[in-house]
Amino acid sequence: MEAVVSEDLVKIYEGGVKALDSVSLSVKSGIVFSLLGRNGAGKTTFLRIMATQLLPTSGRGYVLGHDIVSEAGKIREKIAVIPQESRPMYILTVKEHVKYFLMMRGLPMNEASQRSSRIIRDLGLEEYSNTLCMKLSGGLRRKVLVAMAMATEAEILFLDEPTTGLDPLSRRLVWDVIQRASRSGQTIFLTTHYMDEAEKISNEIAIIHSGRLLASGTLEELKKLTPYKLKAEIPSDSIRIEELSEYGRVLKLGRRIIVYMADEESSRKLHNYCISMRTPVTFSPLSLEDLFIKLVGENEYS
Amino acid sequence: MNIAREIRALNALVLMNGLKPIVRSPLWLVVELSFPLTLIFFISLYASEKAVSEALIGAAISLMTLSGLALQSDVVWLRVELKFQDMAVASPISPTTYMLGLALSELAYSSPAILLIMVLMILRGMITLGSIPLILLSLMLCWLFATSLGFYLSTKITDLRHIWALSSLLSVLISMLPPVYYSIELLPEWARILSLIIPTTHAALLAKDAVSLTSLTLLNKSISLTILLTWTITLTIIAAKRSTWREK
């Protein structure tokens, strides 16, 4: 079954800003799905529409088979959200946040208490359980919000940049919890700036730019969208950019030149050329970040 | 509607936005009490015993009204600053339960002050068993009216600074300026007529009548009750139907 489906979704805000331009997307149940995009690409708008917080201008959307406009009540029983830039209440403890949020969703106090203790332990927040949120660091506060959403055990979790501000270890703890939730059948729809996050925990990924969906699928499927398999990175001040085009597609990013290559033969030739020019070069397989830069970069400058 | 679930949601909101913050920051209880008690103190210095009794009734009505209006700031703060309302919208809680829960949490701040005012009224021999229903009805309608007004306005405003200004202005217009703390008879004719538009004037008239500070005819009492009810029902319907829950 499809967890989230959008058909030609359009959102035009008051003032005429087009945030979504005919976005059609489908997310299977029980997977971790990441929506990638630059700031202002339309990620949050899409998430908020599907999470029934915002009405679309046109198009259709379905969450677990329910229409996002006419059946929002049924959807809200089955989802939970962490909004971007949300903050906990400083005057409540970590446990109180999770427990009261569950009670607000209708859970009995005992069950809410047990569930909150469990998720607090899973997210490594045990030592802060009775600490007021005003005394927590920014990253820990973000983790409290993740705990609130996770504890709901909702069928779909919409997480808008859930790991922003977390240290690397905390990010991995959150990833673990997200993946565990997915293994137990929950669907996770998240937006993120972090390519490594999307690459590591997502089953499927979509890339959005200026309100338009550029690509969607598994990482392997996305990599097939480009003929390139390898990339080389060269400092831009050490070589003339025109001389590199015979080895592959060349992109200048600040002080770096990126060369995308289709095969190992091209990389061997480029390697020899760089040796002859006494220029440092680094080769690596194509990553999601490269794919993102290529797709978004092409759209940005085309 | 699952009543048990709604009660749990209300309980959660009262705990998170009312009782727990009060326990950790009890100074707010003093703040709630300071405004009406200061007014009563000044009135007691300059005016008669009857005026003090009127001010006590006014303080109770004012506290209930201000408690409802205080909802505005919290709703905007929870929505704009914390994004908590976004989490609530995408959950099974209804906007009415959310509004009521937050309104009850505001009442938790005002309750000790209202209780103290009531005790003072009892000590002064103002309250009899027979007067209690009308006093409670006036107070409840004031609270519901102000809560609905506060919630409706708060969902339309996106800047916390605007809501602070609006809240202060409404507090003056609804609970300070009209004849709530003082007798309507002190006003000139034109101001008296103007004050009758304001629902708190009628709440005060009814409550003062209940404790025999004024004597309303049955017709006047019915008119006051009708106006107060009309305001309350209209604003409750507007808050339920026209407040912005899901953004457009």
Cβ within 8 Å, pair B247-A108: no
**Position A226 confidence tier, pLDDT thresholds 50, 70, 90:** confident
Within 8 A of B86 by CB-CB distance, chain A residues are 48, 53, 81, 83, 86
**Is residue A81's pLDDT more than 60?**
yes
**Is residue A281's pLDDT more than 70?**
yes
Residue B16 near chain A (CB below 8 Å): yes
How far is residue A300's CA from residue B12's CA, in Å, rounded to a whole number? Answer: 47
Cβ within 8 Å, pair A103-B247: no
Residue B24 near chain A (CB below 8 Å): yes
Buried b (16+ CB within 10 A) or exposed e, B97-135: bbbbbbbbbbbbbbbebbebbbebbeeeebbeeebeebb
How far is residue A141's CA from residue A72's CA, in Å, rounded to a whole number? Answer: 29
- The contacts of residue A70 (CB under 8 Å, 6+ apart) are none
Let me know: does A103 contact B8? Beta carbons within 8 Å: yes
Cβ within 8 Å, pair A101-B89: no
Residue A267 near chain B (CB below 8 Å): no
B86 vs A55, A81, A108: nearest CB: A81
CA dihedral B152, B156, B161, B163 (to 10 degrees): -20
Helices (H), ranges, A105-167 = 109-122, 138-151
Amino acid (1-letter code) at residue B12 = A
Query: How far is the alpha carbon of A130 from chain B, nearest alpha carbon, in Å?
Result: 13
**Mean pLDDT across A170-192:** 90
Would you tell me which residues 54-73 of chain A have a C-beta closer than 8 angstroms to some C-beta of chain B?
54-55, 72-73
Cβ within 8 Å, pair A91-B21: yes
Tokens representing B131? 């007067």
Would you tell me which residues 166-225 of chain A have a C-beta closer than 8 angstroms to some C-beta of chain B?
none
Would you tell me which residues 28-87 of chain B have a C-beta closer than 8 angstroms to some C-beta of chain A?
81-84, 86-87
- Three-state DSSP at B162 gives helix
Query: How far is the alpha carbon of B243 from chain A, nearest alpha carbon, in Å?
Result: 14
**Position A299 confidence tier, pLDDT thresholds 50, 70, 90:** low
How far is residue B180's CA from residue B183's CA, in Å, rounded to a whole number? Answer: 7
Within 8 A of B16 by CB-CB distance, chain A residues are 89, 92, 96-97, 100, 104
Whole-prediction pTM value? Answer: 0.88
- Whole-complex ipTM: 0.89
Helices (H), ranges, chain B = 3-14, 20-24, 27-46, 49-69, 71-76, 84-89, 95-123, 132-156, 160-171, 189-195, 199-210, 218-242
- Three-state DSSP at A69 gives coil
Cβ within 8 Å, pair A109-B21: no
How far is residue A83's CA from residue A27's CA, in Å, rounded to a whole number? Answer: 20
> Each residue's pLDDT tens digit in chain B (248 positions)?
789 999 999 999 999 999 999 999 999 888 888 888 898 999 989 888 899 999 999 999 999 999 999 999 999 999 999 999 999 999 999 998 999 999 999 999 999 999 999 999 999 999 888 899 999 999 999 999 999 999 999 888 888 888 889 989 999 999 999 999 999 999 999 999 999 999 999 999 999 999 999 999 999 999 999 999 999 999 999 988 888 888 88
Residue of A nearest to B74 (CA): A89
How many residues in chain A?
302
Cβ within 8 Å, pair B87-A80: yes
Cβ within 8 Å, pair A88-B88: no
A103 vs B9, B25, B86: nearest CB: B9
Model pLDDT for residues A106-150, shown as the tens digit of each residue: 999 999 999 999 999 988 899 999 999 999 988 888 889 989 999
Cβ within 8 Å, pair A52-B91: no
**Is residue A302's pLDDT more than 60?**
no
Q: Which residues pair with A251 in a beta bridge?
A: A258
How far is residue A189's CA from residue A101's CA, in Å, rounded to a whole number? Answer: 20
How far is residue A49's CA from residue A19's CA, in Å, rounded to a whole number? Answer: 11
